[in-house]
Structure 1
Amino acid sequence: MYQYNIDIEMVKQLEEKAFKIRKDLLNFIYRIGMGHLGGELSIVDMAVALYYKYMNYDPKNPKWEDRDRLILSKGHCSETLYTIFSDMGCYTMDYMVEHFETLSTAKFGMHSNRKYVPQIEASAGSLGHGLPIALGLALGARKQKKNWRTFVIVGDGELDEGSNWEAIMAAGHYELGNLVAVVDKNKLQMTGLTAQVMNINPLDQKLKAFGWDVISIDGNDMYAVCEALQSLAPADPVSRRKPIFIISNTIKGKGVDFMEGNVKWHGGAIAKEQLDEALTSVNKNRKVR
């Protein structure tokens, strides 16, 4: 099944980190009283692998010129990134709760704002903006002959937006091998199944037709996530080669049994009784190798 020699101890460490982030995220959403837990939970494994292992990134020096960039285009899931930044020591959880969408001291919001949180590369909220911005960053790196890489995470429902397909066409045209897009394909969006709202399949064939290399994985299997990220060629802004699209097949609400595959948990608050049940579920579903 697997093609690359992945350090299993590293995978275990990342799985433990994802386990912690899921618990911290649930507590965070409970305390702030709002969130989009379905999609926030489905991207945890990919986000953890990127921030803790595969991106050249220092959270304490977020404006370092040679850093890899990550844009979370599905910005309604920003609480996952906030939770990771907290775990990395950038902010305490209490500080984030205190400054979450307050009238006079807001720094953290339901949708991320780069003016207030320096670790955020691009403000998000209007879907379909992140991939075009990532395209511009990758072109900028080529112009400056910089070896950093641009990552962008989009939602599968977000691919209803035509601006994404303009960016997909342009990235294929310019052969931006320093651009890696990840679609969190959890098969649900706010109003129902993506296949019923606006069917994007066969997604792999469409992306290949636009000039991308495509990797399809189980995005909630940390080994598969690591294998995909480890397979990436070194960032090279000058050489022209196909950009890479990772189709990350995930489960909305991953790790919490009563949330998994349930469109109800696209957005909303979580009550204390639900929090306790959710944490019990995350503990029960903890990955052990």
Structure 2
Amino acid sequence: MANRIFIHHEGFMQPNDLDRIARQIRLRDVQAVYEAGAGHIGGEMSAIDILTALYFQVLRIWPDQPKHPDRDRFILSKGHVALALYVTLAKRGFLPEEEISTFLKPHSRLNGHPNCNKVPGIETNTGPLGHGLPVGVGIAKAAKLTGAGYHTYVLTGDGEMQEGSNWEAISSAAQFGLDNLTLIVDHNRFQQGAALKDTNDLAPFPPKLEAFGWDVTEIDGNDIGEIVPALQRRGTRPHCIVAHTNKGHGISFMQDKVDWHHKVPNAEQYKIALAELSEAL
């Protein structure tokens, strides 16, 4: 289990350290997609900086006790980018790093969507879009009812925000005063098959969330220096972070290309991706 990184939840890492970890996660993600011959690589690249900030700086978690009652809860609502979460969990110590090589193989517990019954560190099964935030609202409400001190984070895609269930959850969260809930919208401007603006353009998101009674922060979602303080922000209302990201971030030929929503690099593209991601390691 070489190169595993362990960090106490009260520790502090510099943005440069977190950037290096994010680049390592991107590199292993690309390798796993290439080896498996499948994966939602574009949305994985856009979300990895957020996942890195959460798991290596923000979340109060214990990898050796994944069900610790005081842990913060994180829900990957855009469950099709499960591989990025698996690599992050492995690097954080929840599962063996060598297990990533089993992604999508027969009998592997690392399926195309996360399964809380099989993978430590997964809070709930996701895949059908629009389910993660309603579950997160329930988890945050439960904390209020029981006096628990954990915080709940939910990551959705911007295309996923077209699901009506999300807006019902947003309304409920404001009604319940869930100041222990943070929603992160991975606003990479593309969904499966098309740009958001050509499908059902809900952007800009901030005025809509504010109209529902939420606090909203807009950030560069591929800048660790902006992500960490936004995730740590606390107020008196539920909080939404609109994270402006790039689909395929970090790989020149993938970035902002809709066809990389679900696509596998060929041998030459794979070589280029490895070189670009390895450059600053």
The residue identity in structure 1 corresponding to 2:159 is G
TM-score where L is the length of structure 2? 0.92
Aligned with 1:109: secondary structure? coil
Query: 1:61 deviation in Å?
Result: 1.2
Residue 72 of structure 2 corresponds to 68
Residue 151 of structure 1 corresponds to 153
Give the one of 253, 262, 265 matched to 2:248.
Answer: 253
Residue 133 of structure 1 corresponds to 135
Residue 112 of structure 1 corresponds to 114
CA spacing shift, 1:96–1:232, aligned 2, 3 Å = same
TM-score where L is the length of structure 1? 0.89
Give the one of 208, 219, 227 matched to 2:221.
Answer: 219
Q: Note if contact 1:28-1:93 (Cα within 8 Å) is conserved in structure 2.
A: no
Counterpart CA distance in 2 for 1:23 and 1:167 is 35
Residue 236 of structure 1 corresponds to none
| C-alpha RMSD over aligned residues | 1.7
Instruction: Provide structure 2 residue ranges, at least 5 long, that are not aligned to the other structure.
Output: 1-10
Residue 20 of structure 2 corresponds to 16
Q: Note if contact 1:216-1:247 (Cα within 8 Å) is conserved in structure 2.
A: yes
Superposition pairs for residues 188-203 of structure 1, below 5 Å?
A: 188-203=190-205
Residue 243 of structure 1 corresponds to 238
Aligned with 2:14: secondary structure? helix
Give the one of 244, 252, 261 matched to 1:266.
Answer: 261
The residue identity in structure 1 corresponding to 2:43 is G
Which shifted more, 183-192 or 88-97? Answer: 88-97
Query: 1:175 deviation in Å?
Result: 1.1
Matched, 1:90 2:94: yes
Residue 41 of structure 1 corresponds to 45
1:115-173 CA-partner distances (Å, limit 9, x unpaired): 11021111111000000000000000001100000000000000111000000111011
Residue 123 of structure 1 corresponds to 125
Residue 57 of structure 1 corresponds to 61
Aligned with 1:152: secondary structure? strand
Counterpart CA distance in 2 for 1:106 and 1:9 is 33
What is the total number of aligned residue pairs between the two structures? 271
Residue 169 of structure 1 corresponds to 171
Aligned with 1:43: secondary structure? helix
Counterpart CA distance in 1 for 2:12 and 2:222 is 16
